[in-house]
Structures are given as structure tokens and as C-alpha cells.
Chains A and B, each alone.
Chain A
Amino acid sequence: MLRPRLKETDRFTRLAGSLLPLRSRCFSTQPAIESDSEADGSKSDLPKPYRTNVDSPSKHQRQHLAKFYTVPKSIERSLFGIFQHTKQSRQLNSFMGEMGVMVREPFLEIREYIESYDYSQPALRMVVYGKLGVGKSFILGHTLHYAVENSWLVIANSWMPEWLKRPKDTQPNAEDPTILETPVEGAIWLQHFRAINERLLEKLQLKTTSTWKFSDTEVIAEGEPLIKLVAHGIDRMKHSNQCVRSLLHEVKKQTNEGKTKTMVVLGGVNCLWETSYVKDPKKQFIPARNFHLLQSFKEILKNDWKNASAVVSVAAPALSLTHRNLELETVPSYMPQYLLGKEGFEFFEPFVPIRVEKYSDKEAESVLEYYTDMNFIQHPKGRTEAARNELKFLSGRNPRELRGLCGWI
């Protein structure tokens, strides 16, 4: 009986193709239908107290704090299919049948800096930091949504350490064998870049400003469209890292000239000063500075250009913990000075630190209301005041802990 109705919904077709196991799909069906029917009738009317109908990050105000907005379907599929949050967060979104993001203080702070900055000055750099699981990635995602909405050229990656710690394929550079290339990662990122910025690039019609030679036959001449450079990296995976370097170089140059404005959103940048788990022929672990792809991204994080802003996050999991003889719970500090190290901290100075805190009482109430309403908390006693107090205390109002606990109830 349910099947034909479900097939009609856009949501279920998306879910059916998702990464989720079958069981979780079954879980997510019921609330998805309910919320759909509710949304149709009452979306234009009063939203629930934990929700806001304003789904544009540019219009979020202080009155929307601690309220959830639903990321529009198109953005969710295109942008956040690329800039992916953790697996647990994606799973939760599938349960809910929507991508709900809470409007929080750090985002408004970041937006205020971005909007009030004088872009004739060197690039604005902001470092998002906070304890484990407080929602740094979601702040980055929210910022990214804002950037895409406001036609910024976006250079984004949700989790940089992925390139450092688990590269899918490695090969030495043709010119300098000490430098390591990660062609698969490079090609994937180029695809992502093209997907996110497709419309903007069409509109801007950017051209290359110098000739890029990859081999005797494969040359991209001056004045050709920038998109060709991207396409070459994707087609010839071997050259993907050089393509990324030249692309970022071009973007940086042309942004500096004022042809566009660029937003860099990167997660876990403190891995740029870490050591990978890949060994060289001498059986030494290769440091991040010898990775071609990471070198290019380090270039773009410098503040020697204008018309740009960078929002990056530093996090404990981005450290190479095994080399430091640490575990995730025993990392001594979450502050940028510790996570970036001396070299990294000096590289970023001057920067604006953005601290993300755990949920306030109001935010915790809001998120519990949201979970209960979306049937993520299913136990009848989960709705009581006592249960909420208990959950708040046990999780310490840490978003990740709270989500983990609610998953059992």
C-alpha cells in the first residue's frame, strides 16, 4: 500500500539510491511522508518553534538563532553531495528526509566578517576551531551555502586529511621524484570544482592568462577558456595535479585582478603540517609538504592576493595521531596554536579565530524538539521533560554526543 505513494515522492527516490543500508531506509520512510504532507499545508504559515522558513543563509538573522532551516533540495543534491559531512550526519539527513542545518552564532559572525571586509586588503582568513563534535563542519557547510548563493567562486573540500592519509594512488612527480602526486584525488577534486562552479564559470567566461604545457602534444594555450584546463585534468588523470596547480594559480591571479571573488572553504587544514602514512623508497614517512596537491592548496591559503576570503577549520582528527602517539580522546588541546603547530600558526597569522561552542541550553532544547518531531527519538518517554534533562546532561550538550545518544532512543 505504501509503495506507490512512496515512489511518487522525490525523497524516496533519492534515498533508494543512497549509501544507506536497507534497514535505515525503512526507518526513514514514515517521518518523510509525514513531514512532506505537513510542509505542503503549513510551510507558508507558522513554522514550528524550532524551524525557520528562511532557507537562504544571506537572510539569516539573530532571530533565527537555534532554529533549523532546510537546505533546498537542489543545493542539497549538488553542493552537499560534493561537500560531504560525516557519514553519521548524512545518515541522519536520510532518516529525516531533509537536510536540516541549525543557524548558529559562529556562522553569523563569519558572515558579518565576510560582508564587512574591505577586499582591497589581503585575503580575509578565518580559522574555525572547537572541541570534537561541536559542529565545525556544519559551520563550514553553512558558509559554503552562503558563498554559492552569493556567486562566489568556491574552492572547497570538506576534509583535507583524506588526501594526506589515505590517497588512493600515488606516483612520483616527473620533474622532482621527491614530490608525490595523488592523481585520483586531483581528478575528483577538479570534477567537484567544475560541478560547484559550473554556472558561474559559464557566466564569467574566464580565460587562461598563460600557456600551460603538460607534454609535447598536450598544451593549453593562453586565452583558452579556463574550463578547458579543468577538463584536461579530468581526462588525463596523470596530469590532474599539475592541472590543479595551474588552475589555482589562474584563479588566484584573476581574482587578484578583480575578475571574480573567491571563497576558500577547507576542513582540517592542520594536516598541511603533518606527516602522512605513505612511505618513500627509503621507508620514511612522507611529510605533507611533499604532496603536490597539498602544496597547491597551501598556496591558495596565503594572503598574498585580494578579493578573497578563506574559511578553514582545524580539528584534532586531522592530526596524524599515530605518529604523535595519541588517541582522539587524549589530544591535549583543541586550540589552533596547538593543532597548527608553530609553523602553521605563523603561516596563518594574521587570522580571525572563530570558536564553535557546544549547544547552549536553547539550542539543545531546539535540537531535541527537532529530533522528537522527526521521530528520530521514538521512545514515548523520550518526549518527557525528564528524558530531555537526562539527555542534555549525559551528552554534555555536545552535538555529536547528543546525536549518538538519541540514536538509541
Chain B
Amino acid sequence: MWNRALLSPVLRDGAHKVLGVVAARANSSTQSSTKLENVLEPMVRKDEKAQKINRAMRAYLERAQTQEKFLSEKKEEFELGKRHLANIMGWDPEEITQENIDEAIQYLLPSGLFEPKARPMMKPPEMIFAKQKLAEFDYTGRPHNSLFYTARGNFYGRLHEAFSHVLRLNEHQLAMRKKGVRTPEAAEQFDLRPYDWINQGELAELCLERIKDEHHDYFIRSMTRLAEHPYSNMAREILLKYLKPKQVETHEQEILPLMHDEAGNPYMEARGERKSLRAIVKVTGNGTGETLINKSMSVDEYFPELKDRLQVMFPLQFVGLLNKVDVEATIFKRHDEYELGEMAKSTEEEQKELIKPLELRKGQAAEAGAIRLALSRALCSFVTEEDVKLMRLSGLLTKDKRKRERKKPGKRGARRRYPWRKR
């Protein structure tokens, strides 16, 4: 065993430094490159019996040194590259930000790859290379954390912390009861409603450990138990560490005011998408339920199948404007470069080319879906805000994000395999 009392003052100082740093890191759970340099100091020491470094520690230190060297090299490269990039773009190299860099990379190396992570990128090395866990043991190889052998020391440490709070709250509850407070006030309990628990990835990042599904579940259960304690407001600080404000995912659609045509009838235009199609729908008030699709056919002629007509009818029926407004729809094949502004620019002949050929009676469900979405959006201007809320709840204003899945090599379609026969 390594006796601390035998250490020479200088070396003892160095060792304390290391231990101090390690302790500080265990608390902060973050890594910082400036402090690591201090860690490396004890490497150059006299070879004494008491100061012999454990093998694990030595391996760790070597690893840390290599990593540090590697990172500093990368950092230099990045700084140089940044200046070079600024030079190319004609920007001031001192004032270039990460956003500018991303913009420049996207401009210089455009990529059509689907996955954003696979596209070319230029980021500081800390953001690209994974963080490494700090040494969890001292020179003799003895772990600092009593929970080290659970393999998830930080994780279980946090659980311990939570449970100690539970015990403290229980004691407090008892004390209050003795005082005669049997039912605490509602304000004493922490209000979980505006928050969400952190997810598995975020928890793993906090603990710097591998967290499995069951661990995350267990953690959330324990924390919920703490939060549901009648006096949980006392443990507010610890709870807030694992909570984040609830994100409300409502993309509020801007409801435009109605426009009026020459005859004074109100009308509104909107667009909708489904699969590879886009629809532009014009709804005119004071109508009789006339429908015109692609300037040629009514709904019953365009859609031979009843289910597609029902799709188009649903928004009108929902807001009670069936047979009270006229609907005019145009269906386009989706072109990414095609935008509404271009529609105004393009000539009539070009517009005709964009219109889907009528002899193709395929993909009618998608056409109906695109019209339904566009129609719902246009109808928002005709109804009250209450009705718009109901429309949103019923899913009329929600875009159907499903798309055709690409064919995979070695498969007959997206998933279907070629038939396999035993030879």
C-alpha cells in the first residue's frame, strides 16, 4: 500500500494536485484541457518505491497525453483552416464565427446527401471527437468513488443523492406532522407540469457512462418519486438538474384575412402537400359547392373512387361549408426548385407542363390528400379561431409526412426480399 505520510513534500504536492484535479472533475463531470497539463507533471519523477504508479494509472496517463496532443494538433489545424476559409470567402479571419464557417462550407462543398452528419463539415475538434472519462482511481489504482464497482458510479451516485433527498423529505414530513400539519399546502410540492425529464442521451452525457433503456427508466421512476413527494419543493434544485422546459410543438399557422374578388365574393388561396404532389386550392365564398380540378373536371369526374372524394369533402363538412363555397384546385408534381413566385413568372404553357397528365390515373389518394390539406388551410380564413383549433385537433391541418421509401440494393423493393430458394 502507498502510504501518504512517506511522500516527500514536493511529490506530495504534485500528487495532491492530481487528486485535487480529479476530485474537481468528478464534481463538475466536464473535461478541460488546461487542467490536464497539470496532471501530466508527475510523470517526470524520481523512481521511488512509494511513488510507483499503478499500471492502470500509467495507461490512463499515456492515453490522456496522446489524446491531448492529438486534440491540440487538430485545434491548430482548425484555426489555420478557419483563416484559410476566411481568406477564400473574403471575410475578416478574426471575426469569423462558427455560423459563418457552416455557411461557407455549404456554399463551397454543396452536398445532396440525405443524412446531415454525412455532409462535409468543419467544426472545432472538441465538437467532433468524443470526450473521455477522467481517471477514477488514484496512483495505487484504488477507485475514488465507492460505487466504482457498480460499473456506473456516477449514475448510481445520482440515484443515491436523490434517495437521500427522499429520506430528508420524509423526516421533514414527520417533523411537520408532529407540529400538526397533516396535509401540506399544494405549493410545497414541486410542479412537474411545465417540464420534461431529460432523455437517455442527455443523462448519459451527464454521467459520462453508458446508460441503457432500463437504467433511464429506473432513473426517471426514482426522480418522479422524489418529485411527487408532498414537500418536493425543498428538493427543487436537484430536480431541476434533470428537467428541461416542455417544448410545445404547435407550429402556429398564420391565418390570413379573406380577400375579395371583383364581384365582391370572399376568397382565399392555400397550398398543401402530400408525397410528391402539391396542390393549390382556391376557395370562394357565396358558392354552390362547385368543384373544379386542374381547370377541367369536377371532383366526381376526377376521382372515380369514392374514398378520394370523401377525403376532399371532409374539411368542408367539418366546418359546415359543404355546398356553400366553390373550390378550385390545381395539382402539380412537386419540383423542389418550383416555388409560388416562379408560378407567377412562368407562362401558361409552362404551367400546363407542370400540371400532372390526366391520363395517369395513379396516385389519386395522394392527390386527394394534397387537396384536403390545402383546402383545410384555406378554410381557416373562413371560420373562427375556435373552429381552427378543432380542425387542428382533428388532424386536418397536420401534414402527412409519410413518403415513398427508396428501393434498397439487394432487395426487391424498400423492404421486400428476393425469394430465396435452397439449392
Binding site for B on A (CB under 8 A): 131, 329-330, 361, 386, 389-390, 392-396, 398, 401, 405
28 contacts between A and B (CB under 8 A): A329-B304, A330-B358, A330-B359, A386-B317, A389-B289, A389-B317, A389-B322, A390-B313, A390-B317, A390-B322, A392-B289, A392-B323, A393-B289, A393-B291, A393-B299, A393-B313, A393-B316, A394-B300, A394-B306, A394-B313, A396-B291, A396-B298, A396-B299, A396-B300, A396-B301, A398-B300, A398-B301, A401-B300
User: When the two chains form their complex, are residues B313 and A131 in contact, meaning their CB atoms are under 8 A apart?
Assistant: no
User: When the two chains form their complex, are residues A131 and B310 in contact, meaning their CB atoms are under 8 A apart?
Assistant: no
Rounded to whole angstroms, the CA-CA distance of A131 and B317 in the bound complex is 27
Among all A-B residue pairs, the 9 with the closest Cβ atoms: A396-B300, A396-B298, A389-B322, A389-B323, A394-B309, A401-B300, A393-B313, A398-B300, A393-B322
Per-position binary interface string of chain B over residues 284-303, scored 1 when its CB falls under 8 Å from any chain A CB and 0 otherwise: 00001101000000111100
Rounded to whole angstroms, the CA-CA distance of A318 and B322 in the bound complex is 35
Q: Shortest CB–CB separation between residue B80 and chain A, in angstroms? A: 65
Report the tally of A-B residue pairs with Cβ distances under 8 A: 43
Q: Shortest CB–CB separation between residue A92 and chain B, in angstroms? A: 19
Report the count of interface residues on B (CB-CB < 8 A).
Answer: 19
Rounded to whole angstroms, the CA-CA distance of A396 and B292 in the bound complex is 10
User: When the two chains form their complex, are residues B309 and A131 in contact, meaning their CB atoms are under 8 A apart?
Assistant: no
User: Quick one: given A393-B299, A396-B300, are A330 and B288 in contact (CB under 8 Å)?
Assistant: no
Q: Shortest CB–CB separation between residue A233 and chain B, in angstroms? A: 43
User: When the two chains form their complex, are residues A329 and B361 in contact, meaning their CB atoms are under 8 A apart?
Assistant: yes
Residue of B nearest to A330 (CB): B359
Within 8 Å CB of B304, what residues of A? 329
Within 8 Å CB of B322, what residues of A? 389-390, 393
Rounded to whole angstroms, the CA-CA distance of A330 and B313 in the bound complex is 23
Residue of B nearest to A394 (CB): B309
Chain A interface SS verdict (over half): helix
Rounded to whole angstroms, the CA-CA distance of A330 and B296 in the bound complex is 13
Q: Shortest CB–CB separation between residue B363 and chain A, in angstroms? A: 15
Rounded to whole angstroms, the CA-CA distance of A330 and B310 in the bound complex is 22
Rounded to whole angstroms, the CA-CA distance of A386 and B322 in the bound complex is 9
Q: Shortest CB–CB separation between residue B202 and chain A, in angstroms? A: 50
User: Quick one: given A390-B322, A394-B313, are A131 and B301 in contact (CB under 8 Å)?
Assistant: yes
Residue of A nearest to B299 (CB): A396
Per-position binary interface string of chain B over residues 350-383, scored 1 when its CB falls under 8 Å from any chain A CB and 0 otherwise: 0000000011010000000000000000000000
Rounded to whole angstroms, the CA-CA distance of A405 and B358 in the bound complex is 25
User: When the two chains form their complex, are residues B291 and A361 in contact, meaning their CB atoms are under 8 A apart?
Assistant: no
Q: Shortest CB–CB separation between residue A74 and chain B, in angstroms? A: 37
Within 8 Å CB of A396, what residues of B? 291, 298-301
Q: Shortest CB–CB separation between residue A325 and chain B, in angstroms? A: 10
Q: Which of B400-419 contact A (CB under 8 A)?
A: none
Q: Shortest CB–CB separation between residue A350 and chain B, in angstroms? A: 29
Q: Shortest CB–CB separation between residue A58 and chain B, in angstroms? A: 33
Contact of A395 among B300, B316, B359 (CB under 8 A): B300
Q: Shortest CB–CB separation between residue B335 and chain A, in angstroms? A: 25
Q: Shortest CB–CB separation between residue B286 and chain A, in angstroms? A: 14
User: Quick one: given A361-B288, A398-B300, are A393 and B323 in contact (CB under 8 Å)?
Assistant: yes
Q: Shortest CB–CB separation between residue B32 and chain A, in angstroms? A: 68
Rounded to whole angstroms, the CA-CA distance of A389 and B323 in the bound complex is 7
Inter-chain pairs besides A361-B323, A389-B322, 11 sampled, C-beta below 8 Å: A386-B317, A390-B317, A390-B322, A392-B323, A393-B313, A394-B299, A394-B300, A394-B309, A394-B310, A394-B313, A401-B300
Within 8 Å CB of A329, what residues of B? 301, 304, 361
Within 8 Å CB of B289, what residues of A? 389, 392-393
Q: Shortest CB–CB separation between residue B40 and chain A, in angstroms? A: 79
Within 8 Å CB of B317, what residues of A? 386, 389-390
Rounded to whole angstroms, the CA-CA distance of A235 and B16 in the bound complex is 128
Residue of B nearest to A402 (CB): B300
Rounded to whole angstroms, the CA-CA distance of A395 and B299 in the bound complex is 8
Rounded to whole angstroms, the CA-CA distance of A393 and B326 in the bound complex is 11
Q: Shortest CB–CB separation between residue B290 and chain A, in angstroms? A: 9
Q: Shortest CB–CB separation between residue B101 and chain A, in angstroms? A: 55
Within 8 Å CB of A389, what residues of B? 289, 317, 322-323
Q: Shortest CB–CB separation between residue B48 and chain A, in angstroms? A: 94
Q: Shortest CB–CB separation between residue A100 and chain B, in angstroms? A: 23
Q: Shortest CB–CB separation between residue A257 and chain B, in angstroms? A: 48
Q: Which of B261-311 contact A (CB under 8 A)?
A: 288-289, 291, 298-301, 304, 306, 309-310
Residue of A nearest to B358 (CB): A330
Rounded to whole angstroms, the CA-CA distance of A398 and B301 in the bound complex is 9
Q: Shortest CB–CB separation between residue A397 and chain B, in angstroms? A: 8
Per-position binary interface string of chain B over residues 134-156, scored 1 when its CB falls under 8 Å from any chain A CB and 0 otherwise: 00000000000000000000000
Rounded to whole angstroms, the CA-CA distance of A390 and B359 in the bound complex is 28
Rounded to whole angstroms, the CA-CA distance of A401 and B301 in the bound complex is 10
Within 8 Å CB of A395, what residues of B? 300
Rounded to whole angstroms, the CA-CA distance of A401 and B300 in the bound complex is 8
Within 8 Å CB of A392, what residues of B? 289, 323
Within 8 Å CB of B309, what residues of A? 393-394
Rounded to whole angstroms, the CA-CA distance of A394 and B304 in the bound complex is 11
Q: Shortest CB–CB separation between residue B350 and chain A, in angstroms? A: 22
Rounded to whole angstroms, the CA-CA distance of A394 and B299 in the bound complex is 8
Rounded to whole angstroms, the CA-CA distance of A386 and B323 in the bound complex is 10
Rounded to whole angstroms, the CA-CA distance of A140 and B361 in the bound complex is 33
Q: Shortest CB–CB separation between residue A328 and chain B, in angstroms? A: 10
Q: Shortest CB–CB separation between residue A382 and chain B, in angstroms? A: 16
User: When the two chains form their complex, are residues A330 and B361 in contact, meaning their CB atoms are under 8 A apart?
Assistant: yes
Rounded to whole angstroms, the CA-CA distance of A391 and B359 in the bound complex is 27
Most buried by A among B300, B301, B310, B323: B300
